[in-house]
Amino acid sequence: MRTQVAIVGAGPAGLTLAQLLHVAGIDSVVLEARSRDYVEARIRAGVLEHDVAELFVQAGVGERVRREGLVHTGVELQSGRERHRVAFDELTGRTIVVYGQTEVVKDLIAARLESGRPLLFDVEDVSLHDLESERPRVRFAHEGAEEELECEFVAGCDGFHGVSRPSVPAGILREFHREYPYGWLGILAAVAPSSDELVYAHTERGFALLSMRSPELSRLYLQCAPDEDLELWPDERIWEELQERLGVDGWTLHEGPILEKGVTPMRSFVVEPMQWRRLYLAGDAAHIVPPTGAKGLNLAVRDVAALAEALVAWYRDGHVALLEAYSETCLRRVWRAEHFSWWMTTMLHRAPEDDEFTLRLQQSQLRYLRTSRVAATSLAENYVGIEHA
Ligand code: FAS
Ligand code: PHB
Catalytic member of 50, 202, 295, 349: 295
Band (76; pLDDT cuts 50, 70, 90): very high
φ and ψ of 259, to 5 deg = -90, -25
**Contact in structure between 264 and 183 (CB atoms under 8 Å):** yes
Q: CA 282 to CA 158: how far, in whole Å?
A: 8
Q: Is the CB of 350 under 6 A from ligand 1?
A: no
Q: Is the CB of 266 under 6 A from ligand 2?
A: no
Asked if the model's pLDDT at residue 94 lies above 60, the reply is: yes
- Mutation pick for ligand 2 pocket among 103, 219, 222, 261 (CB with most ligand atoms within 8 Å): 219
Q: CA 120 to CA 140: how far, in whole Å?
A: 11
Catalytic member of 200, 221, 280, 315: 200
Catalytic member of 99, 182, 221, 383: 383
**Contact in structure between 236 and 258 (CB atoms under 8 Å):** no
Q: What is the pTM of this model?
A: 0.97
Domains along the sequence of the chain with CATH: 5-72+97-177+267-344 (3.50.50.60), 180-266+355-384 (3.30.9.10)
Would you state the pLDDT for residue 386? 85
Q: Report pLDDT digits (tens) over 208-223.
A: 999 999 999 999 999 9
Q: Report pLDDT digits (tens) over 106-157.
A: 999 999 999 999 999 999 999 999 999 999 999 999 999 999 999 999 999 9
Q: Is the CB of 344 under 6 A from ligand 2?
A: no
Q: Report pLDDT digits (tens) over 157-207.
A: 999 999 999 999 999 999 999 999 999 999 999 999 999 999 999 998 999
Q: Is 383 a catalytic residue?
A: yes
